Structure 1
Amino acid sequence: MWLHGTLTCCTLHLHHSVPLLLPPPCSALQASKDGYVLRPLDKLGHFEAFKYAEVKVTVSESSGQPLSGVLVSLSGAADYRNHSRTREDGRLRFPNLSPGNYFLRPMMKEYRFSPASKMLTVGEGATVELDIT
C-alpha cells in the first residue's frame, strides 16, 4: 500500500492521525480489506466501502436427495456472470458479490427445477439462500 498525506486509523472509536512524509511519486492511497470493496473518494485518504454479499444454493431431488453436477448460472449486477456446478452435497456458493439484482438459473438435462429461474435482490453483506428441487 502506498501512503501519502495523513493516515487516520479508527479502532474502537479511537482516532489517531499520523502525518506521512513519503517522497514523490507517492501521490495515491490504495486500501484493501478481505470481503470488502473500497473505492477512493475525491478527498485523498477517504474511501467508500461496502461488504461483499453471497448467494448459497442447495439443489435436491424431490425425494430430498442432494443433486450434484447441476450447472447453475448467476448473472447480474456490474456485468457479473458465473456458471458453476453443484458439489456432491448439492450445494454451491457464489461469494464476493456486489449488492444488486441477480438472475439465477439451474440447468441439467432431463430435469425440471422449481423454481426454473429466480430473480434475486442481494443487499450489502447479505447471504441469500435458495433451495431448488
Structure 2
Amino acid sequence: MTIPSITELTILKSLWKQHPLSAREIHAQVEAELDWSYSSTRKTLERMLDKGYVRQQLVHGVQVYGAALDKVETLAAFAHDFGKRVMEMDLPLPVNMFTGSKLVDGAELAQLEQLLNDWPDGREGGK
C-alpha cells in the first residue's frame, strides 16, 4: 500500500473525522497544524485527487471532498512502515500503543491489530 505524506495524512484525518468537506472547510481544520496558505491546501487536494487518495463531488454547487483511502488500512501501513523502517522491528508493533487514540474506536483498533498481525511481509505466520 502507498503511504501518504504527512501533510496528506493530516488532510485525510480531517476527512475521516467529518465528510464531505469543501476545500475551505478542510483548510480551516488543518491550517494551524500545517501552517500554510489556502492555495497550498487546494494544490495538495488536487494532487491527492490525482493519486486517488480523495474523492470529489459537487454538492449544492460546491466541490466537496471525501477520503478515498480506508482509515484503518492507511494507519496500518504507517504503523508497519514505522516499525520496520524506523524501529527496525521484524514483529508488528503492539496494538496497545494505539490505545487512547482519538482517531480510532475499539472496533477499528481490533481491525488494526488484525491487519498488523497479518501483514504480508513474508514472516512466518503472516499471510
Short-chain TM bin: under 0.3
TM-score (norm 1): 0.21
Q: TM-score, normalised by structure 2?
A: 0.22
Whose radius of gyration is greater, 1 or 2? 1
**Bigger proportion of residues as helix:** 2
